[in-house]
Each structure stands twice: as C-alpha cells, then as structure tokens.
A and B are shown apart, each in its own frame.
Chain A
Amino acid sequence: MRFMLLFSRQGKLRLQKWYLATADRDKKKMVRELMQVVLARKPKMCSFLEWRDLKVVYKRYASLYFCCAIEGQDNELITLELIHRYVELLDKYFGSVCELDIIFNFEKAYFILDEFVMGGEIQDTSKKSVLKAIEQADLLQEVRHPQTHLWSPQNTPMETP
C-alpha cells in the first residue's frame, strides 16, 4: 500500500497515512485530486479505480470514505478486507465507532492503524492480538496532571493530553 486516506463526504480529511516519502506539497495535491475523483463516483460503481499509476480501492462506511492506493501487483479484493478489518478494529476499540470518534480521537485512530499495518503491509492478522496490544499500550500512558488526582476523578488514566 502506498497510502491510506480517510475523509468525509464533504471532503474533510480525517486521517492520512503515507508509506512512501512524499513532499508535503505533493501530498496536498494528491489528496485534493483523489478526494475529488472518489467523491464524484456514483453508488453503482465498483470500489476500484485507476488513478495516476496506482490502483485505488475505496469503501464508504457511513459518512467516512476509506481509501487505499495500492500498486499494480497488489490484490484489490484483499485490500477491501484490509479496510474492513481496520474498521472492525476501530469499532471494537471505540464501541460502535462513528466519524466523531475519529475526529476527536484521531491520534488513537493512528495508533490503531500503526499497530495493524506497517510500511504498507499487515503486521498481524489477528484482531484480538492487535486490540490487546493497543489496550496494553494505553495502560502505559502516564497520568497527565499530578495535581488533579488530588481532587478530581475527571481525568482517567487512559486520557491523552
């Protein structure tokens, strides 16, 4: 996989993970272009399209488009499964995930993705294993404000800054 994008129907980017070193300006251009192409697709069309020299696999889940750019020899159908697996992981983690979860907890969406995929390839094919690792890592996160535990339970140990 070269990159993965998550964006809303209004064209707002929610996550971008690049697996090939690309200049910021080029990234912006590609994101803008690809979003336009994908958002213009009609519901009856298939989930694959050719864009530049890549194959793009995309699937819409509620208000979010999940979009992967893969190379010529990569299997489009299994990429759909990869996308679905990622959604399942998010769903399990957030409990019935919706776009707002990803907006407000984008860093967690990245952590989960980085535990599932590395360098464009799947690290672990077991849902359980990925989720366990995230869970354990979350536990390692330190309590942020030492003073708060003096008097307010509002900051749970899991909360990121």
Chain B
Amino acid sequence: MGYWTMWSIDQTWRMPAPIRLRELIRTIRTARTQAEEREMIQKECAAIRSSFREEDNTYRCRNVAKLLYMHMLGYPAHFGQLECLKLIASQKFTDKRIGYLGAMLLLDERQDVHLLMTNCIKNDLNHSTQYVQGLALCTLGCMGSSEMCRDLAGEVEKLLKTSNSYLRKKAALCAVHVIRKVPELMEMFLPATKNLLNEKNHGVLHTSVVLLTEMCERSPDMLAHFRKNEKLVPQLVRILKNLIMSGYSPEHDVSGISDPFLQVRILRLLRILGRNDDDSSEAMNDILAQVATNTETSKNVGNAILYETVLTIMDIKSESGLRVLAINILGRFLLNNDKNIRYVALTSLLKTVQTDHNAVQRHRSTIVDCLKDLDVSIKRRAMELSFALVNGNNVRGMMKELLYFLDSCEPEFKADCASGIFLAAEKYAPSKRWHIDTIMRVLTTAGSYVRDDAVPNLIQLITNSVEMHAYTVQRLYKAILGDYSQQPLVQVASWCIGEYGDLLVSGQCEEEPPIQVTEDEVLDILESVLISNMSASVTRGYALTAIMKLSTRFTCTVNRVKKVVSVYSSSIDVELQQRAVEYNALFKKYDHMRPALLERMPVMEKVTTNGPTEIVQSNGETESAVLETKPPPSGLQPVSQANDLLDLLGGSDLTSVIPTAPTSKPASAGGELLDLLGDLNLTGIPSITAYNKNGLKIDFTFERSNTNPSVTVITIQASNSTELDMTDFVFQAAVPKTFQLQLLSPSSSVIPAFNSGTITQVIKVLNPQKQQLRMRIKLTYNHKGSAVQDLAEVNNFPPQSWQ
C-alpha cells in the first residue's frame, strides 16, 4: 500500500496520470477495426479534455503530444490549439518543443488564435538558449502570417547579422518566408546580406544563396543591384570553384561530390543573374563549362548538378558552344539507365527544342527510342518531343515510328498522338498517296480516339487530293466493311462514299487493284451504319446524307434510296427526321434541282497567303473578309453556281485540276496556274495597274470563265523597280460582302530588284450579284532592312471584269 501512497503524492486525487504517448500509440495500434480505434480515441480525448480543463502544467506536454498523434490519424484536435500556446509560453524546453510543433501542425494563419503566439515568439527570438531561438525562428519561418512577419521582421533582421552561424542560417530562411509573405519588407534585409557570402559555414552559405535568390527573383531593382553593386556573380563563381576544386571534405561530401546542394543553389542563382544580361553571362561562362565537363556522372547526385547546369546554360546568354555542350549532356542523359535521368532530359529537351532545334535533332533517334519506355510520363514527353522534331526530311521515318507508337500506346495517348500525326502529315507529306495512307492508318488503328474536329479537316484534305479520290474511297469502304464502330472513321468513310461512290462501283482505282462492288452493296453498308446501335447521331446524319447523294451518282438504285429516305422521315431522331423530310421533298417537288444540289464538292482551297490571314475592316457599310473555306459537314452546296474548278477549266478531267500547292513550294504554283488557265477567255479585258508606289507595282490581268459567268480570275503581277529586293512579300485582299474571294499560293515571297522578276498570284472572285468590283489590298514586305506595310483601294476595275 505504501507503493501507492508514495505514487500519489504529486498526483491529483481525482485523476490518474495520463498515459504516456508511446503507451497510447501501442494501444491504438491494437485496434482491429475502425470503430474500435474510434472508441479508444474518443475515450482518450475525453481524458485529455478534462486534463486541460484542470490547467495541469505537468502533463500538458504529454497530452498535446498525444493529441498530435491522433490528429495525424485524422481525428479533430482543435481543442488543443490554446494548449499549444500555453506550452510555448512555458519555460521548459520540452514544453516549448512540443508546443511549437503543435502550433505548426494545428494552427495556421486562418485562426485568430495564432496571433497570440507573436509575443512568445518575440521573447523566444531573444532567448539565451540558441535552441529556443531556433524553435522560434523555425516556427515563424514555416507558418508565420503576414501580421506576425510584420511584427517580428526586425528581430529576424537582427539575427541575420549575428556571428552565431546556427542562428544566422535559420534567420536567413526565416527572412525568405517574411519576404514571401510581406514583399515590401525586402528592403530592410538588404544591409544584412552584405557579408553573407563571406561565411565559411555551409549552412549559412546555402541559406544565404536561397535568400539572395528570393530577392533577385522578386525585384528587378534588387537584381540589378546585386549584379552591379555587389558583384554577386564573381563571388558565386569563386565559391563554386572552391567547391569543385577543393579536396575531399567529409562533412559535406555526397558520393565524392562536395556539397551538391549548395552547388545546385548557386547554379540556380547564377541562372537568374545571367538571364538577359550579357556581362553576367560571360562572367559565368567558364565555371559553367567547368562544372559541365568535370562533374562525375555515375550517381544521381552528379547528374542533379549537371541538370541544374544545363538549365542555367539554356536560360542565360551563353555562347553557342556552351549550348551545344548542354544539349549533348541532355543527349547523354537520354542514354542513362536511370529512368529519372531520362525523364528529366526529355523535359528539358522539350523546353529547348524550339530555340535549339538543330542541336536537338541530333538526338532524334534516342528520343524516338524513348517511345518504347515503360514509364508513361517518359513516353508522353518522348511523343511530344518527337512531334516537335518532325520535318520535311525525316517525316517518313518519324511517321513510321509514331504510327507504330499509336498502335501500341495506352489509350490516354491515342487522341493526342492521332492529332499530332494529322498535323505533321499535313505539313510535311511527301506525296498525296502517302498522306492518304497515313490518314487511313490513323483512322483504322485509332479510329475511335480521333478528335471530332479532325473529321472536317480530313474531309477537306481528301477532297483536295483529287487524283486520290478513287483510291481513298476504296480504302475507306474496305475499312468499314469489317467494322463500323469507330465513329470518326465511319463519318469520314460515309462522307467519301456519298461523294465518290460512283468511282467505287466503276472500279476506277489506279493505286491498287480496284474491288468489285455493286451499288446495292454500297448502300448495304451505309444502311447498316444507319441502323447500328453503335452509330452516334452525327454519324447517322453522315450516312443518310451519303445515301441521298448517291441517288445522283448511282444509276440502278434510286428507288432504294427513295425508300430509305422515306422511312427515316418518321425517325425519332430529330436531326435524321429533318434531313429525311427535306430529302423526300427533294425527290417529290424539287427533283429537277436534285442533281445540281447534290453535285460533287469542289476542291476547297484554304487561303494560302504566306502570312496570317487578316480581316480587313472597312469603316462603312460593307464588311469585307478574306475567305477561308471549310467544308460544311452535311456536304451539300446550297448554291448551284458552284466554284467548280472542273467547270472553270472546261472539262471534268480530274488530272488537270490545279493541286493546292503547299506553301513549302510556292515557286512553281504561279507558273502551273497560268498554264492550266490556258483555255480561259483571255482576250478582250484590259489589264490595270492596281498599285504603284515606292517602286512596287502591281498589275491585274483578268480572265472570265466561259462556263461560269459569275467568276472572274485575276492574276496579279508584282514587280520591284528599286535597287534592293523586297522580301517576305505578302499580298492580301478583301472584297465587299456580296463577293467571295479565293487566293491561291503566290509564286514566291521575294520580288527581285530592278524589275528582274515578278511575283504572280491568282485570285478568284465570285460575283453572283454582278456588282461593281471593288477591292482593298494590303501589302507587307521587308525592304532596305525595314518592314513596310501599305493599304490601298482598287477601284479601277474595267467593267468587262465584272459585268
């Protein structure tokens, strides 16, 4: 019994001593269910609450510690917040330690309570024991609110000037936090930074570099100050050099490298100092080269330094040799076994591929190999980088790899990959056949992942590849014969079958052996699409319209089409119903218009100026626009006077149609056009000089179509009588609203001097209302080293050109 009496001397009569922290942890871990754990926690919380109520100083620390444990498990602990403050105010170090920890875990600036800490922290910042000061600095530096920072900044600044390196390093990071919370206070820390880098202590050096980095990043004035007045760059270079050259220092060594953390921070600060500043960049050139070549690369730590070095080299104004060195480091990273290094290399290369394109190209094959990596993030980067590297020279090889990737990659990539392939193919396709094949390949392998907006673009592409129509429709037909579940594929295929179904049944394919297919078989597949549950509403719309179009292209199955159309005029799907009803009407009341309405779509020219298309607004009644045509998804041309190139050229011979000259080879386009327009009416319409100023003369010659009276074809010829070439020449034109305009590729973008050559360009104007032709033109070019721009109106069109 004596045992118990002695034990209870210091205890309150009412409560037994609260259980120890580790005892509680042990107990809670024995709980077999969530419910059991909750019960234990509740019981203990109740005990703790009572203990708090009794203002027990002895066990407050223990209780708060337990509360912190329970908080980590996810249970509420807000009732302990004030207790933390009491612990902080205590004189006992143990109390303070737990109290400050509790404050950092349970309190934040959202609670008003936290402000009560301010006074305690202030006192502790001036405590006689540096570890107490350290606690205060740490807490302030981790979670101090703006008000607290404002109140205590002075104390921090004082400590920043102390000779005690333990406190100095902490004060520096605390200052960083203060500046982040209250940027206006940055100035007051400036004097204290003067000697920071003279320290030998690595802790102080590291945190000082962090502080200087924060200041330079936040304030351009500070940045300028540190560059010029403090000569920060030479100081940093010196420290970095010492780190590299000095022998083994056991205290800071990591795998043979001296203080890699400090090296990395210095390199980052150098980056900020060297950015957009030639002098600073030059001053750090040598040390960067030294680090880049001498750092040991066998372990992660060395590569971490190299990585930071590369980032710095690429961001400052480094000389080209250094940049190439950096990119080669990244190239070597790509070959590293460590996937983390490969990841980091790909990320960095992605950032530099635009500015240092050629250097990155050299590592193309390694990058392409990364497409086969197992890590998803690496694959994604490799894919993005691969697309950035595709050009006219490597497009065949690259596309092969990317198509293979499309086949085998995870679903999350397929949409982006498909879009990327379409884009690259459009820019760099070496031939039409290749282009169509590539599109086909994407549609058949990733057909359901292709983006909806790709469908109209693909249709336009196909339309413009006139000589490939038969091949394309055949391939598409075969593709959906087996499987018509991939919506984008089915939509494109339906549209093409509707347009070119006649080529399909007449077996006109030249690129591969033509298949034998009857009109009924074609209609079978379209009807299957129409009926199928897998078909989206949009897809059904495509199919129905295609069936309708075939009524003018097929000869034996018109009645079948009529039947289908009449069935769907009572479809539940409103879209389908509306179409079917209108098509029905076409059969019944407007049958004479049917052939014209369902005519073959013309080649749709994209506006191919060398520069961005612009809308030239006139201030007045007419609003003009430079037209960029896009195919309407329904595929019907509402006006019967189609801009039909075939008619324009006096024949329906497919091979004589002008191909859209891609902008990469403009030189031949003008010439071809002039030849092909041979059978147009050239005589009788006088040419005009539309523009003549500053040595630039632009003449217009006119041709009218024999078959289409609303179309006028204008050929412009631009010549240069000055003694210097005019380069990057861009001609843009706008016409009043009732007109339509099409601009084809110019012959080139350079008008040579002394009238020794011209640029020709063709404009087609559609003028259905036979209004007087007016035009506004905009000319931009470079001449004698400066950019020239001019706007003009052309009003002297001869009446024969539009009447």
Contact = CB atoms under 8 A, between A and B. Distances in A.
B134 A133 contact: yes
Interface string A3-33: 0000000000111100101110000100000
Given A118-B138, A161-B21, A123 B170 contact: yes
Contact of B92 (A23, A121, A133, A142): A142
A125 B261 contact: yes
Interface string B162-203: 000010011001101100000000000000000000000011
Given A107-B68, A119-B176, A81 B203 contact: no
Nearest to A44: B374
B307 interface: yes
Contact of A125 (B7, B10, B143, B262): B262
User: What's the dominant secondary structure at chain A's contact region?
Assistant: mixed
Contacts, number: 179
B21 A82 contact: no
B83 to A, nearest CB: 13
Contact of A46 (B21, B210, B304, B378): B378
A124 B259 CA distance: 10
A128 interface: yes
Nearest to A16: B72
B770 interface: no
A91 interface: no
Given A21-B109, A46-B377, A119-B173, A77 B304 contact: yes
A115 B29 CA distance: 29
Interface string A49-81: 110000000000000000000000101111011
Interface in A77-97: 77-78, 80-82, 85
Interface stretch (B335-343, B478-486, B618-626, B787-795): B335-343
Contact of A124 (B69, B203, B254): B203
A23, A76, A125, A126 interface centre (most CB from chain B within 10 Å): A125
Interface in B15-43: 20-22, 25-26, 29
A136 B261 CA distance: 25
B355 interface: no
Contacts of A103: 25, 29
Nearest to A134: B131
A141 B9 CA distance: 23
Contacts of A107: 21, 65, 68, 97-98, 101
Contact of A133 (B131, B264, B301, B305): B131
Contacts of B416: none
A45 B300 contact: no
B222 interface: no
B108 interface: yes
Interface of A: 13-16, 19, 21-23, 28, 44-50, 73, 75-78, 80-82, 85, 103-104, 106-107, 110-111, 114-115, 118-119, 121-129, 133, 136-137, 140-142, 144-147, 160-161
Which 5 pairs between the two chains have the least Cβ-Cβ distance? A161-B62, A77-B304, A124-B203, A46-B339, A78-B304
Given A125-B202, A144-B94, 4 more contacts: A23-B108, A75-B308, A81-B261, A107-B21
